[in-house]
């Protein structure tokens, strides 16, 4: 539509005027992902978003995604202005892990190394020894386990359970979940596989164990897009937020992509597999943030310094 075109032109002009770069997650609207790409920004998984923002020389980062992604950018680049289209875009994992309860849980288990998923508040990260994203979680825990460390893991019980099962590590799990991935149903995927037996199943590890079990590939959003490219299969069933289809289909234009069903009857649900908080990012509020610096992210300096340590461990981690 013409209004979108006008907004896009305005955003491009403002990005330039404000010396800003757009860092977008794969689950945001196609138009936002496209803009990020066209203007020299990035479209990426949460680990790559953090790396890109920290390295980029722009003085302003515009983070289109959810709150923890903006906070992570600010923690890593306190000298930069970090803007988000809306500060209301949270995450069920973040909401389900309030810092007071989490700290009490850690205090009750002082013998455990505290590893938290990136999908947490700055305050929760500040209490952790390590932060990990889904792309390196298994590798980090394997390393800690080899050192004989026992783990306290929060907040995603599905991702935690998957890592535990993969590594055999001693992990105490917080009881949190992603409201989007939790909806995928193994039965529905099995029904789809019965229709397309030659399809591969790609699954984000925030999904329930029964879904992860039938996956050909389990990985972060970027890892799933890579898998789509490298797998020989012409048909792919994908269990993650449908925002990923924009880049995935571009990466494999000749392959057929199916949304993994979120209902047990095999019917795909067009509105279920989309994160309501990611969906809050729009061209309008993105332009607004750049125009008047609404949606600026601030992190208390003491908290920032404490949260920086486990984040730096994550960024410096090499297997």
Q: Give the residues lining the site for ligand SF4 (CB under 6 A).
A: 66, 91-93, 119, 178-181, 206, 241, 275, 277-278
Tokens 């929760």 belong to: 124
221 binds, among ligand 13P, ligand SF4, none (CB under 5 to 8 A by kind): ligand 13P
Separation between Cα atoms, residue 92 and residue 178, nearest integer Å: 6
C-beta of 289: minimal distance to ligand SF4 in Å? 19
Q: Which is nearer to ligand 13P, 8 or 23 (CB)?
A: 23
Question: Which x/- pattern over 64-103 shows residues binding ligand 13P (rule: CB under 6 A)?
Answer: ----------------------------------------
Q: Which is nearer to ligand SF4, 14 or 173 (CB)?
A: 173
Q: Which is nearer to ligand 13P, 60 or 133 (CB)?
A: 133
Separation between Cα atoms, residue 125 and residue 300, nearest integer Å: 13
Q: Which is nearer to ligand 13P, 8 or 238 (CB)?
A: 238
Interface with ligand 13P (CB under 6 A), residue from 178, 200, 203, 311:
178
Q: Which is nearer to ligand 13P, 92 or 164 (CB)?
A: 92
C-beta of 23: minimal distance to ligand SF4 in Å? 15
Interface with ligand 13P (CB under 6 A), residue from 77, 86, 113, 119:
119
* 53 phi/psi in degrees, rounded to 5: -60, -40
134 binds, among ligand SF4, ligand 13P, none (CB under 5 to 8 A by kind): ligand 13P
148: left (phi over 0), alpha (psi -120 to 50) or beta: left
Separation between Cα atoms, residue 142 and residue 147, nearest integer Å: 9
C-beta of 46: minimal distance to ligand 13P in Å? 3
Q: Tell whether the torsion through CA atoms of 118, 182, 36 and 86 is positive or negative.
A: negative
134 binds ligand 13P (CB under 6 A): yes
Q: Which is nearer to ligand 13P, 13 or 55 (CB)?
A: 55
179 binds, among ligand SF4, ligand 13P, none (CB under 5 to 8 A by kind): ligand SF4
Q: Which is nearer to ligand 13P, 113 or 135 (CB)?
A: 135
* 282 phi/psi in degrees, rounded to 5: -140, 165
117 binds, among ligand SF4, ligand 13P, none (CB under 5 to 8 A by kind): none
C-beta of 31: minimal distance to ligand SF4 in Å? 19
Stretch touching ligand 13P by CB under 6 A, among 52-60, 105-113, 129-137, 296-304: 129-137
C-beta of 91: minimal distance to ligand SF4 in Å? 3
> CB under 8 Å to 120, separation ≥6 — which residues?
68, 93, 94, 97, 128, 131, 154, 155
Residue 49 and residue 25 in contact, taking contact as beta carbons nearer than 8 Å: yes
Q: Which residues bind ligand 13P (CB under 6 A)?
A: 45-47, 119, 133-135, 178, 206, 220-221
């Amino acid at each position: 539509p013409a209004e979108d075109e006008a907004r896009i032109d305005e955003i491009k002009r403002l990005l330039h005027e404000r010396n800003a770069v757009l860092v977008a997650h794969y689950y945001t609207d196609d138009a936002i992902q496209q803009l990020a790409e066209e203007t020299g920004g990035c479209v990426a998984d949460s680990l790559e978003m953090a790396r890109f923002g920290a390295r980029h020389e722009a003085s302003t980062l515009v983070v289109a995604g959810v709150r923890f992604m903006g906070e992570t950018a600010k923690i890593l680049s306190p000298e930069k202005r970090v803007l988000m289209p809306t500060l209301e875009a949270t995450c069920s994992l973040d909401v389900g892990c309030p810092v007071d309860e989490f700290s009490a849980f850690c205090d009750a288990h002082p013998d455990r190394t505290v590893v938290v998923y990136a999908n947490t508040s700055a305050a929760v990260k500040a209490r952790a020894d390590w932060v990990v994203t889904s792309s390196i979680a298994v590798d980090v825990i394997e390393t800690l386990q080899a050192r004989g460390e026992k783990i306290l893991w929060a907040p995603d019980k599905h991702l935690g359970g998957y890592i535990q099962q993969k590594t055999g590590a001693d992990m105490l799990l917080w009881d949190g979940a992603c409201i989007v991935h939790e909806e995928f149903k193994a039965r529905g995927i099995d029904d789809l596989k019965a229709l397309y037996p030659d399809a591969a199943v790609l699954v984000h590890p925030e999904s329930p164990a029964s879904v992860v079990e039938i996956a050909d590939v389990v990985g972060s959003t970027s890892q799933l897009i890579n898998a789509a490219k490298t797998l020989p299969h012409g048909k792919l069933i994908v269990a993650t937020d449908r925002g990923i289809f924009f880049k995935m289909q571009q990466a494999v234009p000749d392959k057929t992509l199916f949304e993994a069903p979120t209902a047990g009857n095999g019917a795909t649900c067009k509105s279920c597999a989309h994160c309501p908080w990611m969906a809050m990012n729009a061209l309008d509020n993105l332009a607004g943030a750049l125009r008047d610096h609404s949606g600026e992210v601030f992190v208390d300096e003491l908290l920032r310094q404490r949260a920086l340590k486990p984040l730096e461990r994550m960024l410096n981690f090499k297997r």
